[in-house]
Structure 1
Amino acid sequence: MMKIREPAWRVFATEYNASTLELKGEGERAPSYVISPLGAMVNRIFIVGILTDLQNIGTEHEPYWRATVSDGTDRFYIYAGKYAPDATATLARIEPPAFVAVIGKSRTYSPEEGRIYVSIRPERILPVDEQVKDNWILETVRATLKRIEAVEEAREMASPSAEGLIRLGYPAPLAEGVMRALPYYQDVDTNLFRGTVLEALENILPGRATYYPMPQDLPSGPDEIDDDGLDDEDREDLVLNLIERLDTNKKGAPLAQLTREAAELGIGDDEVEEIINSLLDKGLIYEPTIGRMKRI
């Protein structure tokens, strides 16, 4: 009997990384799944984003690549070695930052009981353009909203069941996934994932590359900056502009110098670290070498 291939789910990194429920298949060739808080039963996954970091943590003769791909909401973690020859060969040729499409299998790692980290073992990796990335975001927005609706429909049922969701028009794999996710994740905050959808859409709205003044156009000292007037986006823009200005040799802005100059603008060390992590998650910067940040 021919084995039916598992569908490749479209899931944002925020939802995928929040997944801590694993369903292990029984039998030699039975599929295993990572079940997300919204009920995506992920055996295979399809993502598009910006490859921001790439390292060979193996050897020259037997490479083992570790990569991160940002979709604008968070980062996917990808590992490829000898069991993924096509993907491994592609990663050896790509120079970050680059738009890529990845189709692969879900993987989990549990360093200790009660903690699960998810990653992707790629089957194929393809260089793509920004339009492909934007189309993927729109498709993944639709898929995410459908999962949110399914979770909320199930909560409204007197006796939630997969059959009840199927009667409402939801696909069987999603209906089953939601029924497995609900008792495990319990009071999952669907508004959190609506926020993820909005965050993703902001990345493809016209005018997102709005001009912001360079730091030299701003007041020179923290005493002249109204701290209450700078919201999170303002601070991220300031740090982005600093990274671009300090990247004088095109090898990335030195983190130590970035931290010093940010302090002169009233942004403390801890805040700089939070902003950098946020910009990395959104795929707006990457770390070409340790201790340097570069704008994409």
Structure 2
Amino acid sequence: MNGMDSFTRVFARELAGTGLVKDRQKDGTCRVITPTGALCSAVFIAGALLEVDGRVNDRMQARVADPTGAFTLETGRQERDTAGILSSIQPPVFVTAVAEIRCPWGTGDAAFRCVLQDIREVTRDIRDGWVITTARATLFRIEALARAMESGDRTGTIGEAILHYRTMPGYLKDTATEIREILAGMELSPGCRETDIVQVVLTLIRDNGGEKGITLEEIIRAGTGEGLSPGEVRKAVESLLAEDECYQPVKGTIRLL
């Protein structure tokens, strides 16, 4: 299993409350299921970089805050390039980051770490766009949980989350209310949402396309899982084609340049 095949957007508080580990491998890679049913092998986050500690040639740790809490990210000796980038960023500043979920043997059945694979300084607009998209993806999962609880369906990832976390309707209501309050309290400048969507779609194409590319239908399905609408995905693809970020080797198939 390659944990970097795809990433999931979750808020810090949800990831901190995650205790269901699956597919633990000897190389440390694994997947976790969060309380709202997100299946994560890697996470894409954004927020304010608050602290950086450690040494590039040993281990480093960083704290990145979003509206719900803070992520704790780390690098090891194998991530020296990423550690070098991290050491060059002076907090406080907005960043985006991709971190792989790792569950080393001997750390406990529910223990995992977020190992930093990429981090970069970004604008407030991009951070705000991440919050919007992550909020929509979270609400999408909450709706799926509510439907499964109402129907009694306990299959798949959603079913595993319900059984493990003993999900109650009150949790869904409180979490949805919190997410909507976050959205209501944000002050967004024009264009930040569109910029973030294009970045999401570009990453989906990169991570899922391979040498042969990926069909528009597959991009739309992947984008729906990130809380995007089909129209938003199509518009983002059109923008990427117009900007020569990708092309169509055959009609209906998208590939990065």
| TM-score (normalised: structure 2) | 0.64
Q: Tell me, in whole angstroms, the C-alpha distance in 2 between the residues paired with 1:66 and 1:29.
A: 21
Q: Judging changes above 3 Å, is the alpha-carbon distance between structure 1 residues 102 and 124 closer, same or farther for their aligned structure 2 residues? A: same
Structure 2 alignment gaps of length 5 or more: 190-257
Contact 1:102 1:122 in 2 (8 A): yes
Q: Tell me, in whole angstroms, the C-alpha distance in 1 between the residues paired with 2:105 and 2:133.
A: 31
Q: Tell me, in whole angstroms, the C-alpha distance in 2 between the residues paired with 1:100 and 1:206.
A: 17
Following TM superposition, by how much is the alpha carbon of 1:73 offset from its aligned partner in structure 2, in angstroms?
Answer: 0.7
Letter in structure 2 aligned against 1:134: D
| Residue matched to 1:139 | 133
Contact 1:72 1:203 in 2 (8 A): no
Secondary structure (helix, strand or coil) at the match of 2:51 reads strand
Q: Tell me, in whole angstroms, the C-alpha distance in 1 between the residues paired with 2:7 and 2:124.
A: 21
Whether 1:129 and 2:123 are equivalent positions in the alignment is: yes
| Residue matched to 2:101 | 106
Q: Tell me, in whole angstroms, the C-alpha distance in 2 between the residues paired with 1:4 and 1:46.
A: 12
Q: Judging changes above 3 Å, is the alpha-carbon distance between structure 1 residues 203 and 94 closer, same or farther for their aligned structure 2 residues? A: farther
Aligned with 2:157 (options 160, 167, 177): 177
Following TM superposition, by how much is the alpha carbon of 1:86 offset from its aligned partner in structure 2, in angstroms?
Answer: 2.8
Q: Judging changes above 3 Å, is the alpha-carbon distance between structure 1 residues 85 and 134 closer, same or farther for their aligned structure 2 residues? A: same
Whether 1:22 and 2:21 are equivalent positions in the alignment is: yes
Query: Greater CA radius of gyration, 1 or 2?
Result: 1
Q: Percent identity?
A: 26
Whether 1:37 and 2:19 are equivalent positions in the alignment is: no
Secondary structure (helix, strand or coil) at the match of 1:195 reads helix
Structure 1 alignment gaps of length 5 or more: 163-175, 208-296
The alignment of Structure 1 onto Structure 2 pairs a total of residues equal to 187
| Residue matched to 1:9 | 8
User: Pairwise mapping of residues 1-296 of structure 1 onto structure 2 (< 5 A)?
Assistant: 6-25=5-24, 32-56=30-54, 58=55, 62-108=57-103, 116=110, 118-158=112-152, 160-162=153-155, 176-188=156-168, 189-205=171-187
Cα shift readout 1:91-116 (whole Å, capped 9, x = no counterpart): 110111011100121235899868x4
Contact 1:78 1:120 in 2 (8 A): yes
Q: Tell me, in whole angstroms, the C-alpha distance in 2 between the residues paired with 1:206 and 1:35.
A: 31
Following TM superposition, by how much is the alpha carbon of 1:195 offset from its aligned partner in structure 2, in angstroms?
Answer: 3.4
Question: What RMSD in Å do the two structures reach over aligned CA positions?
Answer: 3.0
Following TM superposition, by how much is the alpha carbon of 1:81 offset from its aligned partner in structure 2, in angstroms?
Answer: 2.4
Secondary structure (helix, strand or coil) at the match of 1:11 reads coil
Cα shift readout 1:129-155 (whole Å, capped 9, x = no counterpart): 100001101100110001000110101
Contact 1:47 1:136 in 2 (8 A): yes
Q: Judging changes above 3 Å, is the alpha-carbon distance between structure 1 residues 15 and 122 closer, same or farther for their aligned structure 2 residues? A: same
Q: Judging changes above 3 Å, is the alpha-carbon distance between structure 1 residues 72 and 106 closer, same or farther for their aligned structure 2 residues? A: same
Contact 2:75 2:115 in 1 (8 A): yes
Letter in structure 2 aligned against 1:13: A
